[in-house]
Amino acid sequence: MDLMKLSKELSYALRHAPWEYELELDEEGWVEISQLLVALHESPYWKEVTQADLEQMIQASEKKRHEIRSGRIRALYGHSTPHKISKISAEPPETLYHGTPARAVHSIMEHGLQPRQRQYVHLSADIDTANQVGRRRDDQPVILKINAAQAATDGILFYHGNENIWLADHIPARYILEQ
């Protein structure tokens, strides 16, 4: 079983296009594993996939992208579906980071960090993760430092993605510093 391929397929289904699998995400992004498996089994490539494979995929991944609880599964972040997944806000660490290609910095410092194609802006608790995120688009990404404590004090809401990833609706430029 190609667990990376399975993870990508699940991210596509649970973040971006559940309707292609005849799935409907609930308010928090959950779907029944049994329904997901029925959908996957329609494709010849995934006809043998089991819940144990899904569990192993989550276990083996270097990033915690998906979560299983009480017979259901969801993506923890990254959504682009039209109906915004509801998240419970939480107190962020004092500083958060965002890695971005150099070409985006001017616009970010003007308009703030926007979710763009996704439902939320994605931030990292550590610089390493921000670097990896930024390197998807630029060999030498710029790491932006977010004054999350001050933003939270001023009423900006932050939400948990996983242990490294934090989400926000929008980060105004006044809380962003170029590293």
Q: Give the residues lining the site for ligand HQG (CB under 6 A).
A: 63, 65, 78, 100, 104, 107-108, 111, 113-114, 116-118, 122, 133, 137, 165
- Which of 18/78 has CB closer to ligand HQG? 78
Q: Which residue's structure tokens are 């498996």?
A: 37
What is the smallest separation between the CB atom of 47 and ligand HQG, expressed in angstroms? Answer: 26
- Which of 83/111 has CB closer to ligand HQG? 111
- Which of 50/107 has CB closer to ligand HQG? 107
- Which of 22/173 has CB closer to ligand HQG? 173
What is the smallest separation between the CB atom of 175 and ligand HQG, expressed in angstroms? Answer: 13
Residue 54: CB partners within 8 Å, gap ≥ 6?
6, 10, 33, 36, 66, 68, 73
What is the smallest separation between the CB atom of 124 and ligand HQG, expressed in angstroms? Answer: 7
What is the smallest separation between the CB atom of 63 and ligand HQG, expressed in angstroms? Answer: 5
Rounded CA separation 117/15 (Å): 11
What is the smallest separation between the CB atom of 177 and ligand HQG, expressed in angstroms? Answer: 15
- Which of 107/179 has CB closer to ligand HQG? 107
Residue 148: CB partners within 8 Å, gap ≥ 6?
92, 93, 94, 95, 96, 123, 158, 166, 175
C-alpha distances (whole Å) from 39 to each of 32, 36, 59, 82, 89 are 11, 5, 22, 21, 32
Supply φ then ψ for residue 58, to 5 degrees: -65, -45
Please check whether residue 165 is in contact with residue 124, taking contact to mean a CB–CB distance below 8 angstroms: yes
